[in-house]
Amino acid sequence: MSEVVAPIWDAGHPEESYTLLARQIAALAAGEEDLLAAVANGVALLARVLPEVNWVGVYRAAEGTLHLGPFQGAPACTRIPFGRGVCGDAALGRRTLLVPDVDDYPGHIVCDPGARSEIVLPLVRGDRLLGVLDLDAPRPGRFTEVDQHGLEGVCRAWLDALAPLLRPDRARALFPVLGS
Ligand code: SME
C-alpha cells in the first residue's frame, strides 16, 4: 500500500505526474471488492497527492440530484440539484467545468468560503452519469487545462479499474443509477 500512496508530484512535469497518478488510482482500486472502500481510498489518494487542493470528493447522481459521497475536506452541501452550482451544471451537461475564480461563476454554491477555484468532472459509465468528481482550491487559477486533461485521464483510469464493482448488484447502494 505504501508504494501506491507515496508522494509522486513533480510540479515541473504535471503531465507525467497525472499519468502516474492515473496508474496509482487504478492500482489502488484493483482487486478491491467493496466499491465504497475503493472510491473512498481513491478520493483520499487524490487529496494526499494533489498540491493546493482543499476539498476533493464524489457527488453521486440519483433522480436529478447529486448526493454527497466520499470526500476529504470541510463538511459540504449534501444535496445539489442538477443545473445548480458548478457541480449541478457539470452533471446536467455531462462535461468538465473548469472555474478559475468561483466569484465569477453565476450560481456557484459556497460550501467552504476558503475555496477560490474549482474543477468538476463528470463520472460517466456507458450511457449513465454515476456522479461527478469535485475539486476545490484555495487560490484563484489553481486548475489549468493541463489539470483538466490530466484529471480526465485519472477519472477514465479510475472508472476502468472500478468496472468489476460497477455491476448493479454491487453498486446500487453507492451509485443508484446503476440499480436498474
Ligand atoms: N461549489 C460547488 C458545491 C460543492 S462544494 O464545492 C464541495 C458547486 O458550486 O456546485
**Which one, of 25, 53, 156, lies nearest residue 17 by Cα?**
25
Ligand 1 atom closest to 90 (CA): 10
Ligand 1 atom closest to 73 (CA): 7
- The pLDDT of residue 3: 54
Cα-to-centroid distance, 119 and ligand 1 (Å): 9
- The pLDDT of residue 10: 85
Q: How confident is the model at residue 1 (pLDDT cuts 50, 70, 90)?
A: low
- The pLDDT of residue 169: 82
* Percentage of the chain lying above the pLDDT 70 cut: 96
Cα-to-centroid distance, 116 and ligand 1 (Å): 11
How does pLDDT run across 121-143, given as a tens digit for each residue?
999 999 999 999 999 999 999 99
Q: Is the C-alpha dihedral spanning 104, 88, 166, 171 positive or negative? A: positive
- The pLDDT of residue 112: 86
Which residues neighbour 141 within 8 Å (Cβ) at sequence distance 6 or greater? 100, 101, 117
Tell me if 43 sits within 8 A of 72, measured CB to CB: yes
Cα-to-centroid distance, 20 and ligand 1 (Å): 27
Q: Which three cell numbers stand for residue 102?
A: 468561483
- The pLDDT of residue 118: 98
Mutate to test the pocket of ligand 1, among 109, 116, 133 (most ligand atoms within 8 A of CB): 109
Beta bridge partners of 166: none
Domains and CATH numbers, the chain: 14-179 (3.30.450.40)
In this prediction, residues 167-178 reach a mean pLDDT of 85
72-86, 127-141, 157-171: which range is least confident on average?
157-171
* Percentage of the chain lying above the pLDDT 90 cut: 83
Cα-to-centroid distance, 3 and ligand 1 (Å): 32
Q: Which residue has a Cα nearest atom 2 of ligand 1?
A: 109
Beta bridge partners of 129: 124
- The pLDDT of residue 11: 83
Cell 476558503 belongs to residue: 114
The residues lining ligand 1, judged by C-beta closer than 6 Å to any ligand atom, are 55, 76-77, 80, 85-88, 108-109, 111, 115, 118, 134, 136
How does pLDDT run across 25-78, given as a tens digit for each residue?
999 999 899 999 999 999 999 999 999 999 999 999 999 999 999 999 999 999
- The pLDDT of residue 140: 97
Q: How confident is the model at residue 167 (pLDDT cuts 50, 70, 90)?
A: confident
Cα-to-centroid distance, 138 and ligand 1 (Å): 13
Q: Which residue has a Cα nearest atom 5 of ligand 1?
A: 111
